[in-house]
Amino acid sequence: MRGAINLDLMPTIYYNDNTNLFTDEDGIEYDITDKLMPYDEVIFYKKNGGTYHVNDLEYGEEYDIEFPVLINLNRVITYYEENNLLFDEAYEVVFNIYTIITPNDLFLFKENKKNVCIKGINGGMVDLIYCDIRGESSLSILEKINQRQRQMIVHSVLYYRYDTNIIDDRTWNRWARELVVLQKDHPDITKESAFYEEFKTWDGATGFDLANNEWGIEKAMQLIRWRDYEESERR
């Protein structure tokens, strides 16, 4: 029989609205629905955010399940036509887009192929950026530099560290050339970019030295999980 619970050590489980996963502070995943939390409560808290308290009478344990509060938060979601992926402001893959916008809004956005600002499910405004098959969009210069830097890092990690790819070499080389030109033409703006230190002497010849970036490794693993999931769904 398990002992009494120390409330100071009560575990907290966190919901990630992009990956649609529940994990604790150590990254351990939990199966929540209908085990620790009724399905209808999960749906409610995913939409509204907040803390759900669990008192597991069977084992005498208590949990707090934290859901992010998304009400009135503005979001920027970028869609890449080339690989049918959605990314958020931090270049996180958006797995659970229907907690942000409706299926109909996403369909119309893809059909029209134009940037649009709409009201999201949780009340905040959502900027949807359409990036066409050539990788072009109407982002600002700094946003474009940040975008290309993140793409170079993530896809270099995939190629050099995990021996796989999601885009072809031609696309990577085109993005690399564009980033080199952007940084050369706008040196002052480049200094404000998220990964300036990694790219201040970068010439676009190779991504080998970018493959150990910790942020990039985390994002690459997300992409690999997404690809594996998509492939399993098609079987």
Rounded average pLDDT over 66-89 = 75
The confidence score (pLDDT) of residue 159 equals: 94
Rounded average pLDDT over 147-166 = 91
Rounded average pLDDT over 28-44 = 76
Location of structure tokens 């002992």:
3
Pairwise CA distance, residues 123 & 48, whole Å: 10
CB-based contact 216:153 (threshold 8 Å): yes
Pairwise CA distance, residues 169 & 143, whole Å: 23
Mind spelling out the 3-state secondary structure of 12-70?
EEEEECCCCEEECCCCCECCCECCCECHHHHHHHHHHCEEEEEEECCCCEEEEEEECCC
Mean pLDDT is lowest, of 57-61, 202-206, 212-216, for: 57-61
The confidence score (pLDDT) of residue 136 equals: 57
The confidence score (pLDDT) of residue 7 equals: 36
Mean pLDDT is lowest, of 91-100, 135-144, 163-172, for: 135-144
Rounded average pLDDT over 77-101 = 82
Mind spelling out the 3-state secondary structure of 95-147?
CCHHHCCCHHHHHHHHHHCCCEEEECCCCCEEEEEEECCCCCCCCCHHHHHHH
Rounded average pLDDT over 44-71 = 71
Decide: residue 143, CB within 10 A, 0-12 exposed, 13-18 middle, 19+ buried.
Answer: middle
**Strand, coil or helix: what is 227?**
helix
The confidence score (pLDDT) of residue 156 equals: 95
pLDDT reading at 179 higher than 70: yes
Sorting pLDDT into bands at 50, 70 and 90, what band is 45?
confident
The confidence score (pLDDT) of residue 147 equals: 84
The confidence score (pLDDT) of residue 34 equals: 62
pLDDT reading at 153 higher than 60: yes
Domain assignments of the chain as residue spans, ordered by start: 10-67, 70-138, 139-224
Tokens representing residue 3 in the block: 């002992």
Q: 10-48 burial, b for 16+ CB within 10 Å, e for fewer? A: ebebbbebbbebbeeeeeeebebeeebbeeeebeebbee
The confidence score (pLDDT) of residue 233 equals: 62
Rounded average pLDDT over 76-95 = 80
